[in-house]
Amino acid sequence: MKTTLINKAMSARESAYAPYSGFKVGAALLCDDGTVYTGFNIENMSYPATMCAERAALYSALTQGKRNFKAIAVIGSSSEPCFPCGVCRQVFAEFCDKDFIFYICSEDGSCVEKTFEEIMPFTFSYTTK
């Protein structure tokens, strides 16, 4: 499954819309029912409106009713692994368990493997009184 996710992320990356940074990112998210949703970064002339590949994949799955996720492959366009940004980590905190797996890849498909807990310790949460 790891290789499948990486290959799907790699092919999603080809469709990335990144005219401003030139940095294309692709992602492939595995749901607990075995389905896979892909995403890519979608930039905007108003830079903060940009959507990251990981969130695009997650939101795509969420809109199809998926709520439980096992792993994601993320692939950027540099020789360094493309670690998810802080906004994506916070969004994934909403929907993923501590043992959710990130395959964080360099452009050639080589990757490091981290659990969500490893890349996002001390997640923000609160209880209402």
Nearer to ligand THU, 84 or 129 (CB): 84
- Per CB under 6 A, residues contacting ligand THU are 18, 21, 23, 25, 41, 43, 50, 52-54, 82, 84-85, 88
Render 26-38 in DSSP notation, one character per residue.
EEEEEETTS-EEE
Let me know if 54 is a catalytic residue.
yes
Render 41-72 in DSSP notation, one character per residue.
-B--SSGGG-B-HHHHHHHHHHHTT---EEEE
Nearer to ligand THU, 21 or 127 (CB): 21
**Helices vs strands, H then E, count in the chain:** 4, 5
Q: How far is the CB of 116 from ligand THU (least distance, A)?
A: 14
Nearer to ligand THU, 25 or 73 (CB): 25
**Active site residues per annotation:** 54
